[in-house]
């Protein structure tokens, strides 16, 4: 047992799992190493709630099961949980003041699956309030600071959003993996910004039961991890049919880890011309070209394709998502749980509670959503956006029907930006971060972001692979080829202790 605490947190999830099985170290030692790392990294503001006692108790149970030969697939593996997942007996806030004091009496299906498989909970991770944002600056608990910095600069940068706490914690070696969620890019964009791997599975692959809802027809749970293999291991445990979620699909969950090294020989990879944006930074263009070269070198055929309705995806998304949010967030009224601000009558109490409880971006989206659903505007906005959504889905279906196995695009239009640099004067500037990711949610397809290089100022850049519905296996195979071809991205310099 001569492993130093720091070296334990440097392991991959797969290596930690294998080391536990070989009894090279104990689950308690892994939990202790991560608890110590989290205490030293509070400057990142990645966690809203730390649960060290719970982690040690769960780790002790894992050690007992490992000795008894009853280890689950994730036995003893310390994970972080995005604070959008309800966790029994542990405060759940969705990073909003309106859920102050809310302690769920139940466990979300995804986290229940992780605990069933032996995982250990380190705490609840920060996010954009109600998952609305692309930089993790809208949280009531303050922004998450990325563990990354521009070369030669000490100024803070964002980890991306909304799963910024998840991405920052994984990149900073505070947990082996984290749950995240993706409504328009909230797994893939922060993964790309932090040099981590994030997969948004097909809509219906993971249960949404017990997750705080943002836009119910777009939200999907998924993991952020340090490697393609680690993400595959996590997704296998997170996924599965759940009768409590009517949108959950009753399909067997493949052994995703088993296909990671299958390669791309003989696959047809589509390159959509609509993703070539005017004014796209040269380094994003070059990264994409590099990704195409890696695919060819690995034996894939690369084909230019067209997804003509791509340019309508962002405006349509920013109608559909706020519309569903305004409906979902109507339940936060100060009556049964969370914040209550008194008023002279019940309507006054509703208004006071919602005004005090919701942050600026959430209020903005509720207003947009209520407007597009109102009489007189419903057909002009919401119905049209849903029609565009169908056309976007048909674009992808046509490409796949043509024999395309996966689609390769950039993950983000740039590397991570500085804290406070975007969106303060014009919210649309922030929304443009989702330009390459929202189509995938609109079509319900799976997408993975994999680190592929560094920007000129030393920040991670990612490529995105989009697949057919319920074909996450191909994404893991293609993602692994990118991971193996790309120069290894070193972890961020540890500036925070």
Residues with catalytic roles: 82, 162, 186
Token couple for 154: 């000490």
Beta bridge partners of 211: 85
Report the C-alpha dihedral over residues 397, 401, 403, 405, rounded to 10 degrees: 30
Pure H helices in 402-485: 427-431, 438-443, 472-485
Task: State how far the Cα of 281 lies from the Cα of 455, in Å rounded to an integer.
Answer: 10
User: Residue 370 in contact with residue 326, Cβ under 8 Å?
Assistant: yes
Report CA 134 to chain centroid distance, whole Å. Answer: 11
Determine the Cα–Cα distance for residues 290 and 51; give it in Å rounded to an integer. Answer: 42
| 366 CB burial (10 A radius; 0-12, 13-18, 19+) | buried
The C-alpha atoms of residue 374 and residue 212 are separated, in whole angstroms, by 24
3-state secondary structure of 295: helix
Helix (H) or strand (E) holding 63: helix 52-67
CA end-to-end distance (rounded Å), the chain: 25
For residue 80, the cross-strand partners are 123, 178
How many angstroms separate the CA atoms of 60 and 449, rounded? 34
Task: Count CB neighbours of 379 within 10 A.
Answer: 9
With contact defined as beta carbons under 8 Å apart, do 103 and 86 qualify? no
What values do phi and psi take at 279, rounded to 5? Answer: 75, 10
From residue 17, give the alpha-carbon distance in Å to each of 14, 48, 353.
Answer: 5, 26, 46
Residues in the chain: 497
> 124 near 49, Cβ under 8 Å?
yes
């Amino acid at each position: 047992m001569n492993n130093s605490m720091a070296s334990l947190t440097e392991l991959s999830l797969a290596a930690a799992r294998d080391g536990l099985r070989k009894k090279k170290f104990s689950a308690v030692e892994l939990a202790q190493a991560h608890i110590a790392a989290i205490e030293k990294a509070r400057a990142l503001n990645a966690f809203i709630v730390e649960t060290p006692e719970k982690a040690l108790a769960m780790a002790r149970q894992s050690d007992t099961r490992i000795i008894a030969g009853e280890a689950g697939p994730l036995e003893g593996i310390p994970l972080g949980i995005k604070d959008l997942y309800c966790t029994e007996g542990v405060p759940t806030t969705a990073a909003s003041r309106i859920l102050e004091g809310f302690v769920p009496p139940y466990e979300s299906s995804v986290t229940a699956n992780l605990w069933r498989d032996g995982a250990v909970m380190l705490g609840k991770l920060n996010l954009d309030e109600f998952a609305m944002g692309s930089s993790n600056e809208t949280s009531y608990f303050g922004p998450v600071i990325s563990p990354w910095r521009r070369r030669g600069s000490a100024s803070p940068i964002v980890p991306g959003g909304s799963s910024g706490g998840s991405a920052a914690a994984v990149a900073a070696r505070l947990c082996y993996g984290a749950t995240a969620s993706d409504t328009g890019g909230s797994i893939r964009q922060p993964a790309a910004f932090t040099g981590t791997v994030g997969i948004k599975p097909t809509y219906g692959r993971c249960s949404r039961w017990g997750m705080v809802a943002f836009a119910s027809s777009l939200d999907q749970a998924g993991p952020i991890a340090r490697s393609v293999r680690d993400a595959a291991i996590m997704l296998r445990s997170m996924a599965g049919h759940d009768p409590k979620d009517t949108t959950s699909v009753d399909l067997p969950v493949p052994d995703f880890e088993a296909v990671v090294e299958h390669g791309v020989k003989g696959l047809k990879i589509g390159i959509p011309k609509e993703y070539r944006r005017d004014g796209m930074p040269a380094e994003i263009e070059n990264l994409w070209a590099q990704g195409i070269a890696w695919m060819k070198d690995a034996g894939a055929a690369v084909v230019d394709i067209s997804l003509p309705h791509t340019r309508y995806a962002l405006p349509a998304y920013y109608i559909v998502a706020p519309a569903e949010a305004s409906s979902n967030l109507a339940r936060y009224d100060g009556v049964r749980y969370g914040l209550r601000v008194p008023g002279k009558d019940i309507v006054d109490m509703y208004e006071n509670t919602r005004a005090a409880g919701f942050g600026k971006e959430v209020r903005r989206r509720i207003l947009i959503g209520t407007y597009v659903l109102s009489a007189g505007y419903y057909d002009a906005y919401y119905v049209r956006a849903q029609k565009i959504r169908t056309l976007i889905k048909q674009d992808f279906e046509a490409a796949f029907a043509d024999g395309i196995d996966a689609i390769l695009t950039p993950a983000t239009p740039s590397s991570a930006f500085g804290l406070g640099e975007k969106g303060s004067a014009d919210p649309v500037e922030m929304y443009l971060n989702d330009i390459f990711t929202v189509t995938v949610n609109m079509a319900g397809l799976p997408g993975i972001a994999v680190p592929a290089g560094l920007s000129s100022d030393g920040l991670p850049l990612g490529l995105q692979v989009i697949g057919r519905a319920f074909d996450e296996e191909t994404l893991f195979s293609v993602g692994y080829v990118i991971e193996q071809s790309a120069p290894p991205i070193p972890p961020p310099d540890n500036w925070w202790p």
